[in-house]
Amino acid sequence: MDGYQELANAIVAQAGWDYMEALKILRQNPDNRDAAKAKIQIERFMRSGWFGTLTNADPDYLIHKMREAASG
pTM value is 0.91
**How far are the Cα atoms of 12, 41, 62, 66, 71 from residue 8, in angstroms, in the given order?**
6, 18, 16, 19, 27
Greater pLDDT, 72 or 31: 31
Q: What is the pLDDT of residue 43?
A: 98
What mean pLDDT do residues 2-29 have? 96
Q: Which tens digit of pLDDT belongs to each residue from 43-61?
A: 999 999 999 999 999 999 9
| Closest to 46 measured CA to CA, from 59, 36, 65 | 59
CA trace torsion 47, 48, 51, 53 (10° rounding): 130
Q: d(Cα 66, Cα 63) in Å, to the nearest integer? A: 5
- pLDDT bin (cut points 50, 70, 90) of residue 1 is low
